[in-house]
C-alpha cells in the first residue's frame, strides 16, 4: 500500500510540477533594443481580446510603400532574443516585434505555449490595421512559428509565413517535457489533465498540423534533423499536412541545433518574402 501511494504521489506531483513550470517559466527580459543596432523604433502596446497588455517594437522602413512583417519569438524568450538575427529585414520591410503574454515585458499571468498566444498575434494584426496595414507576412520561431500556422487560416491579412522549428502538436510536445522512457506517457497525459482542469485548454486541440491542412498561402517550413528541443518528426508531420498546398516549401538541414542559423539564411528569408508579399 505504501509503495502504491508513493507511485501515485510521484505521478501526480511530477505532472503537476511539469504543468506549473510550463505555464510560469522563468522570465527572460533582453537588454537589447533596436537602438543598440542603430535602428529607429517606437515602443508600442496593444490589448488582446481577453484583456492582456502586450509590449512591442514598431520599426518603420524609410520607404513609405514598404510591406510589413510580424516577427514572433519562441518560448520562453522575448522579442529581443530574435532581434539581432532578423534586423536585416528592416532594410526592406516595416517590422513589428512583441512579447507574447507573460513573457518579456508583456503582462499576463501565465504562458500557454501557443494555445492563447494566437490571440496575441490577432491583437498585433489588429494594431497594424489601425495604422493602415492590411497585409502582413509573419516569421515565427518555435512557439511563434506554431502560433502563425494555427491562426493563418482565419486571418486573411496574413499573406505568407516562415515557420522555423515549430511543433506540430502541443500534446506531442508534452512528451518532450519529460523524456523518461515509458513513464513520459502517463506524465504527459496527467499534464494535459491539469491543463484542462485549470486553464480549460485541451492540448490535443492545439495542433498546427491540423490547422494548416487547408492553408493555401505561401509557407516556408524550416527545421533541422538535429533539433533536440523540437524533434524533426514535427517538421515531417507539418510537411505531410501541407502536401496539398502547392505554395508550401521546406528547408530541412541536418546538423543545426534549435535556433541555429544555416548558411544562406538571410537570403532564403528575404527571397521568400520578396517573392510572396
Structural domain of residue 107, as residue ranges? 41-169+206-276
Kindly state whether residues 268 and 154 are assigned to the same domain.
yes
- Indicate which CATH number applies to the domain containing 46: 3.40.50.1820
In this prediction the pTM is 0.95
Eight-state DSSP code of residue 212: T
- The greatest distance separating any two alpha carbons of the chain, rounded to the nearest whole angstrom, comes to 73
Dihedrals φ, ψ of 221, to 5°?
-100, 125
Helices and strands, counts by H and E, the chain: 9, 8
End-to-end CA distance of the chain: 64
Edge-to-edge strand list for the sheet holding 53-59: 42-47, 53-59, 94-98, 68-72, 136-141, 158-164, 219-224, 248-253
pLDDT (tens digit, 0 to 9) for every residue of the chain, 277 residues total? Answer: 788 888 888 889 999 999 999 999 999 999 999 999 999 999 999 999 999 999 999 999 999 899 999 999 999 999 999 999 999 999 999 999 999 999 999 999 999 999 999 999 999 999 999 999 999 999 999 999 999 999 999 999 999 999 999 999 999 999 998 988 889 999 999 999 999 999 999 999 999 999 999 999 999 999 999 999 999 999 999 999 999 999 999 999 988 888 888 789 999 999 999 999 9
Show the DSSP H helices in the chain as ranges: 2-23, 79-86, 117-130, 143-151, 170-178, 184-199, 208-211, 233-241, 265-276
With 0-12 CB in 10 A as exposed, 13-18 as middle and 19+ as buried, what is 208?
A: buried
Kindly state whether residues 116 and 192 are assigned to the same domain.
no
Kindly state whether residues 241 and 257 are assigned to the same domain.
yes
Residue 67: how many CA atoms within 13 Å on its side-chain side? 17
Q: Is residue 176 part of a domain?
A: no
Amino acid at each position: 500500500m505504501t509503495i502504491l501511494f508513493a507511485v501515485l504521489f510521484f505521478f501526480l506531483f511530477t505532472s503537476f510540477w511539469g504543468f506549473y513550470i510550463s505555464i510560469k517559466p522563468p522570465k527572460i527580459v533582453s537588454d537589447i533594443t533596436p537602438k543598440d543596432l542603430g535602428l529607429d523604433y517606437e515602443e508600442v502596446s496593444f490589448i488582446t481580446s481577453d484583456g492582456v497588455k502586450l509590449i512591442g517594437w514598431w520599426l518603420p522602413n524609410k520607404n513609405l510603400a514598404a510591406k510589413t512583417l510580424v516577427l514572433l519569438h519562441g518560448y520562453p524568450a522575448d522579442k529581443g532574443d530574435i532581434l539581432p538575427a532578423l534586423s536585416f529585414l528592416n532594410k526592406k520591410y516595416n517590422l513589428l516585434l512583441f512579447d507574447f503574454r507573460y513573457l518579456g515585458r508583456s503582462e499576463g499571468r501565465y504562458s500557454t505555449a501557443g494555445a492563447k498566444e494566437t490571440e496575441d498575434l490577432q491583437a498585433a494584426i489588429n494594431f497594424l490595421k489601425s495604422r493602415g496595414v492590411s497585409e502582413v507576412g509573419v516569421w515565427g520561431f518555435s512557439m511563434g512559428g506554431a502560433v502563425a500556422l494555427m491562426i493563418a487560416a482565419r486571418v486573411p491579412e496574413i499573406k505568407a509565413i516562415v515557420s522555423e522549428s515549430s511543433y506540430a502538436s502541443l500534446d506531442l510536445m508534452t512528451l518532450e517535457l519529460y523524456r523518461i522512457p515509458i513513464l513520459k506517457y502517463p506524465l504527459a497525459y496527467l499534464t494535459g489533465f491539469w491543463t484542462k482542469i485549470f486553464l480549460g485548454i485541451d492540448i490535443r486541440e492545439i495542433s498546427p498540423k491540423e490547422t494548416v491542412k487547408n492553408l493555401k498561402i505561401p509557407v516556408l517550413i524550416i527545421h533541422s534533423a538535429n533539433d533536440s528541443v523540437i524533434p524533426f518528426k514535427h517538421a515531417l508531420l507539418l510537411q505531410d499536412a501541407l502536401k496539398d498546398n502547392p505554395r508550401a516549401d521546406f528547408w530541412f538541414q541536418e546538423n543545426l541545433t534549435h535556433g541555429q542559423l544555416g548558411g544562406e539564411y538571410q537570403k532564403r528569408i528575404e527571397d521568400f518574402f520578396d517573392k510572396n508579399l
